Structure 1
Amino acid sequence: MLRSLSLSLTSFCLFLPSNSVHAEDWRYSLRAGAASVPRYSGSDERVMAPLLGGEIVSPYGFFLDTQKGLGWAYDEDGFGLSVYVGASDVRKDRKTGFKGSDELDGMGSIKSRPAIGLDGTYHMGPIILGASFEHALEKDDDDDDTGSAWNRLKLSISAPFYEGDHGKVVGSLNSQFGDGDYMRTWYGVSTGQASRSKFKAYDTQGGLVSRGADLTWSLPINDQWSVSTVLAVQYLAKEAADSPIVERRMQTSLAGQVVYSF
């Protein structure tokens, strides 16, 4: 579940996001760490994957981020908005390095394709409301089982639990939703896939994908160095949890990274 790892695999997406804001000068950051995550959404297998990435932010709000892609961000007066073009998540039907699982043999791989993202935040005092929308384009040279265009929406609410000499701890609750094509891509089993794999056919409908919670601890070391740790839990909703590929409904991830900014 890593995206530039990245833990999305997906779909969290996820974790360890970096916030692009309007800057008075060029800003650069490098990230390095590791994450313990499920091999795919619903898997009971885990993998320890490296987290490597970086970000460049221009004085005009344009950014290039290895996790999100190329985009533009605005953050002022308690309201934040970013629009970007990047790459969607992948899922392999073979255990390949840090991705995929042999349990999915015959399901076909979900390949990366261009994706358009829109993120928004709104501050209500210490509480932050967030929304993240992602649209993955159709992959023309792929089959209907794994190449359809899909839409995913994540809504979140977060607030700080602690801020002091030992850093900052922020808690967050979230819900993720997907349209019918998203659910069929990631949790459905078509008749063709059923004939090639050990799973029985399973059709799905769009709706709630999961509910979850994150706990993030960040600690600035100095003006340039900082460390952060994220514990994330996702509980798959019934439509996703009933899929025959889902072995564990409760999905947990733990990630840590060091960030160097200059």
Structure 2
Amino acid sequence: MRILSPALVRRRSPFSLVFGFIAAFLLLSPAAHGQPANDPFAANGKSSSWSVTLGAGAAFRPTFEGSDRYFVSPVPFVSINYNDMISLDTSGLNAYWRKDGLQIGGGVTYNLGRFQDGNSVFTQGDERLNGLGNIPVAMGLRAFANYKLGPVVLGATLTKYLAEGNNGLLIDGLVEMPVRLGDRTTITGRLFATWADESYMQTWFGVTPGQSLTSGYGIYQAGSGVKNVGLGINLRHRLGTSWILSADARLLRLTGSAEYSPMTVSDMNMNFLAMVGYRF
């Protein structure tokens, strides 16, 4: 496994760096199509209608899906919740309604795309993708539902990206169970899977005849199906009245057309995020 330092990555245009910083401030995950980052059934512990958390940390992730190289990037963090109805967090901007064990909502998100010749501080990429072309930044619409069944939370999210050249459809499924360890610490275990349509799979894992000529990879038609399955664990610890320490680790296995893509070097990827935040 090769780790790349942000200091060694190729220079990008000022627009790309500024946009990447803003995007990372709102969406720290490589693909922001999952569930809202906030525990959908956790009380914010504040008498005010507003709950705001600001923080910073670092993320460790592959240079692209299917890569065996990893890089570390700084991660600014923000999470804002208003009246338990509207949230802005690492999944995007969401509006939702909930009653008892059910939460239903929707919102907007985006995907940062991919560079063909290297990664920036926040955006994935690798020179082994040369000739495949860049995948553009895309805005996305999303709908989600969570249901709390005893100690277990079941979740599903549908995300549709809207950019030309990055307009795929994703459906995420999630099962998670939080376990409280005392008054300050919560550990949450997760199982998840993602289904992707043909447009998404071809964009990220396929090779067209033109791309084959410029990249050297063989022509590959990627089809729809389950893109990945995985498991994760999240640790949240309150350091005091307002300070919060969070760590999140995920192990993901590519499946179907993603696993057999000619650009996939490793079908196992991992992601790790550590963050300290202050809740107002």
Once residues 199 and 169 of structure 1 are traced to their aligned partners in structure 2, the CA distance between those partners, rounded to angstroms, is 43
- 1:138 pairs with 2:171: no
Where does residue 126 of structure 1 map in the other structure? 151
Once residues 85 and 12 of structure 1 are traced to their aligned partners in structure 2, the CA distance between those partners, rounded to angstroms, is 10
Once residues 13 and 234 of structure 1 are traced to their aligned partners in structure 2, the CA distance between those partners, rounded to angstroms, is 14
Task: State the Cα distance separating 1:9 from its structure 2 match.
Answer: 1.9
- 1:82 pairs with 2:105: yes
Are the structure 2 counterparts of residues 132 and 217 from structure 1 closer, same or farther at C-alpha, using a change threshold of 3 Å? same
The partner residue of 1:208 within 202, 226, 236 is 226
Task: State the Cα distance separating 1:172 from its structure 2 match.
Answer: 0.8
Structure with greater helix percent: 2
Q: TM-score, normalised by structure 2?
A: 0.82
- Which stretches in structure 1 are left out of the alignment for 5+ residues? 140-146
The partner residue of 2:114 within 87, 91, 106 is 91
Once residues 102 and 131 of structure 2 are traced to their aligned partners in structure 1, the CA distance between those partners, rounded to angstroms, is 45
Q: TM-score, normalised by structure 1?
A: 0.87
Indicate if the aligned counterparts of 1:31 and 1:259 stay in contact, CA closer than 8 A: yes
The partner residue of 1:54 within 57, 63, 78 is 78
Indicate if the aligned counterparts of 2:33 and 2:159 stay in contact, CA closer than 8 A: no
Are the structure 2 counterparts of residues 236 and 60 from structure 1 closer, same or farther at C-alpha, using a change threshold of 3 Å? closer
- Deviation digits for residues 47-88 of structure 1 (CA, Å, limit 9, x no counterpart): 0011212132222622333x3333312343121223111222
Indicate if the aligned counterparts of 1:20 and 1:73 stay in contact, CA closer than 8 A: no
Once residues 10 and 54 of structure 1 are traced to their aligned partners in structure 2, the CA distance between those partners, rounded to angstroms, is 17
- Deviation digits for residues 12-66 of structure 1 (CA, Å, limit 9, x no counterpart): 769x92346798512211131111110110011100011212132222622333x
- 1:164 pairs with 2:189: no
State the percentage of identical aligned residues. 25
Where does residue 24 of structure 2 map in the other structure? 4
Are the structure 2 counterparts of residues 148 and 168 from structure 1 closer, same or farther at C-alpha, using a change threshold of 3 Å? closer
Are the structure 2 counterparts of residues 80 and 179 from structure 1 closer, same or farther at C-alpha, using a change threshold of 3 Å? same
Are the structure 2 counterparts of residues 207 and 83 from structure 1 closer, same or farther at C-alpha, using a change threshold of 3 Å? same
RMSD: 2.4
Aligned-partner SS, 1:34: strand
- 1:44 pairs with 2:96: no
Are the structure 2 counterparts of residues 208 and 88 from structure 1 closer, same or farther at C-alpha, using a change threshold of 3 Å? same
- Deviation digits for residues 127-150 of structure 1 (CA, Å, limit 9, x no counterpart): 1101121100132xxxxxxx1421
Q: Which runs of 4+ in 1 moved over 6 A?
A: 20-23
Indicate if the aligned counterparts of 1:31 and 1:53 stay in contact, CA closer than 8 A: yes
- Which stretches in structure 2 are left out of the alignment for 5+ residues? 1-19
Once residues 267 and 110 of structure 2 are traced to their aligned partners in structure 1, the CA distance between those partners, rounded to angstroms, is 26
